[in-house]
Each structure stands twice: as C-alpha cells, then as structure tokens.
C-alpha cells in the first residue's frame, strides 16, 4: 500500500508509519524472497569473473599464435590435397635442416658451406653433396649415418681427414640437413625425404668404422628421385 495515495486513511500522516513504509525494501531486492536457483549473482563474483575474462583475453591475444596449427607443430605436413602438400614438406625440412646444420655441421663445414681448405671439404658445389658422377643419394645418407675417413677428392682437391658418424640424428633431421645443404648457397640438388633416409638406414648394417671412399664406391648408386618417381615426384 502506497501511503501517498492514501491521504484519507486515519494514519496516513502518521510519521512512524511512513518511515516503516519508506524503509521497507522493495520486494524484488529482498534476498529472503529468492530460493536456490533464482538467487541473484553476488557482485563480487561478477567482478572476479570480469577480471578473469579480461586476463583470458589478454592471454589468448599474446599466446594463441593466431590459432595456426603449424605454430604448435613445426613438423606438421599440410593435409590438404593439391599443390599445398607438395611445397609444404620441403619448406619444413629446410627449416629443420638449417637448425641441424648450424648446430652440428657448421663447426667444420662452416656456415658458408665452404669448409676450410685442406681440412674440411666444401659442401657448396660438392659432387658428394649433390650426388654427381659415381655419387648417389644413398652414399650421401650412408656418409652422414656412419661418417667418412681417409683420402677423398672433393672438387678436384684432396682431403685426408675424418668425419664422425651422425646416426643419432632422426630420419627427419638427416633428410632436413641434406635437403638444406643441397638447396643452400646456390646448390640446386633435389630434396631428400625422411622415408628415403629410413630406407637407407634399414639397408645399411650398423658399423663402428667410418666409411672409406673405396667402400662407398663399391656400392651401386641410388637416387632418391628415381626411387620415388613412380609414386610422387619430389618438388624441384
Ligand atoms: C668434426 C668436423 C665435421 C663435422 C662436425 C661434420 N663434418 Fe662432414 N666432413 C668432415 C670431414 C673432415 C670430411 C672429409 C672426410 C675425409 O677426409 O675422408 C667430411 C665430409 C663430408 C661430406 C662429403 C664431402 C663433401 O665435402 O661433400 C659431406 C656431404 C659432409 N661431410 C656433410 C656433413 C654434414 C651434413 C654434417 C652435419 C650433420 C657434417 N658433415 C658434420 C668433417 C666434419
């Protein structure tokens, strides 16, 4: 009952009654009237939620990486059919390969791939790295897996040194580093796939001695591009 509409009633002007009426909370704000499910959300909970939403938004903005799948998995191979998958794999292999090269090979063969005269042979234009002449991609993979020692010729220059085995590297790391070496510094060799490395690794009995040039020369030449040309030609 609103006291202002009720001026005629006997206690309409009773100040005590007015105070009681005015101070009575509106029904809708009286928490006692609500039970269980319909209880209003406490203000402090709304405040904490807003702070959390704000923080989550900032977190996603900084760390989501644009929600691109390859941000989380550098080795992801494109799944879409057509052109994308053909170019995506070699690009990723080169990225992996550059890292492997800088960490493991550059100390001797140098970041320029030019090596050091008389000690470490060059990879730039090397018939070994590019599988020219009697050299095959299989010899190259075997060379990386188990090392190389004794007298060799690279670009008409003699070397007589030793390279340690790298068979602790994964198929993908070896494929990566070879793909990188064969396409860097003006080299224009074809990529090498992890599957090809796995095949050569499986075909090569484990050994404790590094290869010599004559041992490798005795093994028939194989090329990755020939091994795979019947199914998928590697991107040039
Ligand atoms: C400790 C120094 C050293 C490291 C590290 C090294 N190599 Fe070698 N590499 C050599 C030497 C020395 C030879 C020549 C061996 C000989 O004289 O018989 C050689 C030969 C080669 C050859 C054949 C010859 C040529 O120049 O093309 C290739 C290819 C090659 N290394 C690639 C690599 C790759 C790839 C890595 C990294 C995974 C690597 N090497 C790491 C020292 C090294």
Which residues are near ligand 1 (CB < 6 Å)? 104-105, 107-109, 120-123, 126, 128-129, 140, 143-144, 148-150, 152, 154, 159-163, 166, 177, 181
The answer to whether position 35 is within a domain reads no
What CATH number is attached to the domain comprising 219? 1.10.760.10
Phi, psi of 158 (to 5 degrees): -80, 145
- Closest C-alpha among 221, 74, 55, 192 to residue 133: 221
pLDDT bin (cut points 50, 70, 90) of residue 26 is low
The tokens 């990486």 sit on which residue?
65
Question: What mean pLDDT is predicted for residues 64-92?
Answer: 62
Tell me: pLDDT of 25 over 70.
no
Domain annotation covers residue 166 = yes
In a domain, 46, yes or no: no
- Give the structural domain span for 142: 81-228
At 131, the pLDDT band (50, 70, 90 cuts) reads very high
Inside any domain, residue 132: yes
Domain count, the chain: 1
Q: How many CA atoms lie within 13 A of 201 on its CB side?
A: 18
- Measured in Å, residue 99 CA sits from the centre of ligand 1 at 16
How far apart CA 201 and CA 167 sit, in angstroms, is 9
In a domain, 52, yes or no: no
**181 C-alpha to ligand 1 centroid (Å):** 11
Flag whether 117 is in a domain: yes
Q: What is the reported pLDDT for 127?
A: 97
Euclidean distance between CA atoms 90 and 190, whole angstroms: 10
Shortest-distance Cα residue to atom 42 of ligand 1: 163
Report if residue 129 sits inside a domain. yes
Distance 163 CA to ligand 1 centre (A): 5
| DSSP annotation of 209 | S
pLDDT tens for residues 146-203?
A: 999 999 999 999 999 999 999 999 999 999 999 999 999 999 999 999 999 999 999 9
Question: What's the gap in Å between 35 CA and the centre of ligand 1?
Answer: 79
Assigned domain for 218 exists: yes
pTM for the model stands at: 0.66
pLDDT value for 128: 97
């Amino acid at each position: 009952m609103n006291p202002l509409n009720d001026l005629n009633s006997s206690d309409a002007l009773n100040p005590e009654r007015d105070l009681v009426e005015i101070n009575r909370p509106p029904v809708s704000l009286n928490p006692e009237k609500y039970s269980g499910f319909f209880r209003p959300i406490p203000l402090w909970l709304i405040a904490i939620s807003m702070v959390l939403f704000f923080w989550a938004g900032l977190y996603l903005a900084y760390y989501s990486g644009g929600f691109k799948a390859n941000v989380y998995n550098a080795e992801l191979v494109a799944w879409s059919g057509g052109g994308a998958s053909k170019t995506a794999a070699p690009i990723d292999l080169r990225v992996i390969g550059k890292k492997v090269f800088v960490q493991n090979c550059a100390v001797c063969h140098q970041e320029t791939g030019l090596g050091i005269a008389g000690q470490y042979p060059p990879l730039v234009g090397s018939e070994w790295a590019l599988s020219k002449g009697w050299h095959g991609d299989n010899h190259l993979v075997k060379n990386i897996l188990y090392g190389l020692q004794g007298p060799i010729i690279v670009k008409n220059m003699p070397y007589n040194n030793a390279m340690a085995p790298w068979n602790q590297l994964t198929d993908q790391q070896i494929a990566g580093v070879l793909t990188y070496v064969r396409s860097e510094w003006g080299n224009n060799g074809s990529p090498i796939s992890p599957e090809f490395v796995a095949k050569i690794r499986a075909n090569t009995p484990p050994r404790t001695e590094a290869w010599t040039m004559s041992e490798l020369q005795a093994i028939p030449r194989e090329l990755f591009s020939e091994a795979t040309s019947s199914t998928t030609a590697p991107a040039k």
